[in-house]
Amino acid sequence: MGSITLSKVSKSFGEAKVIPSIDLEIQDGEFVVFVGPSGCGKSTLLRLIAGLEDVSGGQILIDGKDVTQKAPAQRGLAMVFQSYALYPHMSVRNNIAFPLKMAKVDKSVIDKKVRDAAGILNLTDYLERRPSQLSGGQRQRVAIGRAIVREPSAFLFDEPLSNLDAALRGTMRLEISELHNQLKTTMIYVTHDQIEAMTMADKIVVLNRGNIEQVGSPLELYSRPRNLFVAGFIGSPR
Ligand code: ADP
Ligand code: MG
């Protein structure tokens, strides 16, 4: 569970063709990074997969099933937003439990899932705190916990670390990679940061103006960039 196929997916906003046509195969369990400069369409592509935007054309398959017309909640995916999307007035426990409460899951099941997620994320001792009483890294883990309890077939991250400082970004990078090793669930991770792409990805998708320039492992892109754009982007930190 967790393969995602995009077939001729396109998106326009009014006259602007932000994504002309994308074909992409993501295998179950892969850690895929969408990387590219600001404005190239990374977030739009992720939102199309999540169902937060409607495609203008093409199809999206999850585990072989066409979900193109399905609502976000019916796709079995979890979007991890930046930590500032937490509810400030709720405890960590209630922030993590929120999607399950909305889905009217039994309290005993919710309690167990929150306990398990907190264990994985080292938040067990912080469940009764408010987000304001946590560090930036802990807050980001709560945002991830809220996704974990839904047991999604894939996690979608949109620049989750961009509002953290450099040292914390390094730590969180490792934590998210470790989480992937533990859960072995498909993850799609959007970033404009080449270091995140090179260190976290099984597969990197390099985007430029809504088109895929190249797809490959970090080593492939580094050693055999298909063109100057990829070489420049992967080669030079900016
Ligand atoms: P990235 O995440 O790579 O920075 P985005 O996907 O956010 O890029 O944006 C890609 C392009 O689509 C940009 O030119 C942006 O202005 C445009 N865009 C994104 N969302 C909308 C929208 N809701 N309405 C109009 N234009 C949009
Ligand atoms: Mg974006």
> In this predicted structure, what is the pLDDT of residue 57?
98
Bridge partners of 31, per DSSP, are 187
Is residue 230 within 8 Å of residue 214, measured between CB atoms?
A: yes
Q: Which of 153, 158, 184, 180 lies closest to 75, judged by CA? A: 153
Task: Please state the atom number of ligand 1 nearest to the C-alpha of residue 40.
Answer: 3
Atom of ligand 1 nearest to the CA of 42: 3
- Test site for ligand 1: of 9, 40, 44, most ligand atoms within 8 A of the Cβ: 44
CA of 111 from ligand 2 middle (Å) equals: 34
ipTM of this complex prediction, to 2 decimal places:
0.98
Question: Using an 8 Å Cβ cutoff, are 216 and 19 in contact?
Answer: no
**Nearest ligand to the C-alpha of residue 42?**
1
Atom 2 of ligand 1, nearest CA residue: 43
- Cα angle 122, 138, 32 (rounded to 5 degrees) comes to 85
Measuring from atom 14 of ligand 1, which residue has the nearest CA? 39
Mutate to test the pocket of ligand 1, among 18, 45, 233 (most ligand atoms within 8 A of CB): 18
Taking the centre of ligand 2 as the mean of its atom positions, its distance from the CA of residue 41, in whole angstroms, is: 7
Q: Closest ligand 1 atom to the C-alpha of 190?
A: 2
Quote the pLDDT of residue 234.
Answer: 80
What pLDDT, on the 0 to 100 scale, is given for residue 237?
53
38 C-alpha to ligand 1 centroid (Å)? 9
Tell me, what's the pLDDT at 202?
97
Separation of alpha carbons 88 and 72, rounded Å: 24
Say what the pLDDT of residue 115 is. Answer: 97
Reported as a single tens digit per residue, the pLDDT across 28-71 is 999 999 999 999 999 999 999 999 999 999 999 999 999 999 99
Q: Whose CA is nearest to atom 22 of ligand 1?
A: 13
Amino acid at 7: S
Which parts of the chain register pLDDT below 50?
Answer: 238
